[in-house]
Structure 1
Amino acid sequence: MAGLAEPYVVPSTAVASFAADGFVRLPGVVSPGAAEVLRRRLIALLDSGGSGSGLRSREMMWREDPLVRAGISAAARRHLGRAARRRRPAPLPRQRARKEPGAGRTPRHHDAHHFPLASHDVISTWMPLQAVPAAMGPLAFARGMDAWRRVDDLAFDKYGTSYDRRVAETFSAAGVEVCDEPFALGDVSFHSTLCFHTAGANRSTRSRMVLGATYYADGARIVDHPTMVSGDWGLFVPDTAPGEPATSAHNPLLELAGR
């Protein structure tokens, strides 16, 4: 926790890079020691109550574990303000943590399909807790803040593969670059809610452990007709009605270090 609280100098190019590309990767954010401690803690939490098989997750771990809470809070306070120009976001506490060896790839999508928020001032962080070589399935991003517009007219398919395939075909035909690079130990990425991303299959012999969280700008509201592709939206923003500000007890405000 002390290591996560240490200052981090955000590269001077990070803000412009995020604004242009829709994502940014910051090097050396997590020390090897902090990554190993967080990795062990996530393994213990998932073994005691995670869900899924090839891709195991446990939601809202930050509410039950102070170390996980320190991790997602540090990500916002130390890096998010400058990388994404957010002053007071609150986390939508969704942590998807463990891709087992042999687990398949994650289909192409953007997070706006999943979150019940009437705002695009939303950003997610992906914090690997080990190096992620190509064989382990690093997160890959479609470069360009407006790349999503090229596929905005495609009908979303929750269960099949047609949407994933048509997004890939459209991006390829339009020459949209996909940034699919390994993550070094300590690298952390941030991506916009409209940034299309995917992750490869884990072809390694080791579990790929990741601490992820989503943050949105203070003042964002729940959409008028909320659904959630991958879960119950009321679980993440309880005691809040459609159209109301997303200000539940599960979504505390975080003061950021920079602007």
Structure 2
Amino acid sequence: MTIDLDRPYAVSEAQIAAFRRDGFVRLKNVFNAEELAHYGAEIARLTIALNTQTVPLEERSTYDRAFLQIMNLWEQGGLAREFVFGKRLARIAADLLGTKGVRLYHDQSLYKEPGGGITPAHADQYYWPLETDRTVTAWVPLQAVPQEMGPLGFFAESQRVEFGRDLGISDESERAITADMERHGFRLVDAPFDLGEVSFHLGWTFHRAGANRTDRPRSVMTVIYMDREMRLKAPSNHMQQADWERWCPGARIGEVIDTPINPVLFERAA
């Protein structure tokens, strides 16, 4: 079996337009079953091996019931690094953002355990000390995600709304953001994901996920991309300060985030 994660995936102009209008897009058949099986088993193994969560599910906070999460699996080398450094996803990210290239912000494995709770409504960029909105997360399920497993759901066109941008993932964010989305009339798109389907969403697009009501884990790998020219901004909350120190070490406010752990993963030929 030959696997080439640099093989391009053609994104249509209609899909790019939908992404820019809605703040997200879902793309079918980005990966095939063989590719997901090849990398998925190792990603799941590393997630369990590196997990430090020992509190029983029923005793955790809403945030901690949502998923087990391990960041920067690529630093473990091997198949995890191959997956994160593949150009297929990175090229799609650059196409959707309309940038000359993209850097890695960080990767993140999200493992929603059987019986795991909801992922409350939020916008990711609350956590990120980044100067512009040219960020996108690729959400890659390592298996099909039926409705009862808690597929990621997006509030279409919500990326322009500023209310809720100061709320981290919590019971309060679920209540307040969901109410505001309903007030605006933004539709929640949370249909099941087919095997090989991948979603991409902007950093300011509000989203949530349901509980995992099955007896199987919902294993997902995400890669967060930012414009190749992204600059660090002064943190506006303690979470952004922590992210600066962990995911952009050595970067300086106002300068391009060009550090050893923020490599360029795709750039167009001059």
TM-score (structure 1 length as normaliser): 0.89
Q: Do the aligned residues in 2 keep the contact of 1:227 with 1:233 (CA within 8 Å)?
A: no
Cα deviation for residue 70 of structure 1 reads 2.5
Return closer, same or farther for 1:129/1:117 CA change in 2, 3 Å cut-off.
Answer: same
Which residue matches 2:44?
43
Q: 2:187 aligns with which of 157, 167, 177?
A: 177
Matched, 1:65 2:66: no
Pair 1:248–1:172, CA change in 2 (3 A): same
CA contact (8 A) 2:122 2:167 kept: no
- 1:95–1:38 Cα change, 3 Å: same
Q: Does 1:192 find its partner at 2:205?
A: no
Post-superposition CA distance 1:154-177 (Å, at most 9, x none):
573447522321211121122111
- AA at the equivalent of 2:266: E
Identify the residue that residue 252 of structure 2 maps to in structure 1. 241
Gaps of 5+ in 1: none
The residue that corresponds to 1:92 in the other structure is: 105
Matched, 1:143 2:156: yes
Alpha-carbon distance in structure 2 between the residues aligned to 1:199 and 1:193: 16
Candidates 219, 242, 248, aligned match of 1:209: 219
Count of residue pairs the alignment pairs up: 256
Aligned residues: CA RMSD:
2.3
Q: Write the deviation string for residues 172-207 of structure 1: whole angstroms up to 9, x where unpaired.
A: 122111111100000011111111111111111111
Change (3 A) 1:226 1:246: farther
Q: Could you tell me whether the CA contact under 8 Å between 1:132 and 1:138 is conserved in 2?
A: yes
In 2, the alpha carbon distance for the partners of 1:4 and 1:228 equals 36
Contact 2:154 2:208 in 1 (8 A): yes
Please say which of residues 193-202 and 9-18 is displaced more in the overlay. Answer: 9-18
Residues 27 and 159 of structure 1, relative CA distance in 2, 3 Å threshold? closer
Unaligned 5+ residue runs, structure 2?
55-64
Q: 1:34 to 1:19 in 2, by over 3 A?
A: same
User: What corresponds to 2:135 in structure 1?
Assistant: 122
1:237–1:246 Cα contact (<8 Å) kept = yes
Structure 1 residues 11 and 126, CA gap change in structure 2 (3 angstroms): same
Whichever structure has more helix as a proportion of its residues is 2
Amino acid of the structure 2 residue aligned with 1:134: Q
CA contact (8 A) 1:122 1:193 kept: yes
- Could you tell me the percent identity over the aligned residues? 29
Cα 1:136/1:228, change in 2 over 3 Å: farther
Cα deviation for residue 226 of structure 1 reads 5.5
Instruction: Report deviation, 1:129.
Output: 0.6
| Residue number in structure 2 paired with 1:33 | 34
Shift of residue 125 of structure 1? 0.7
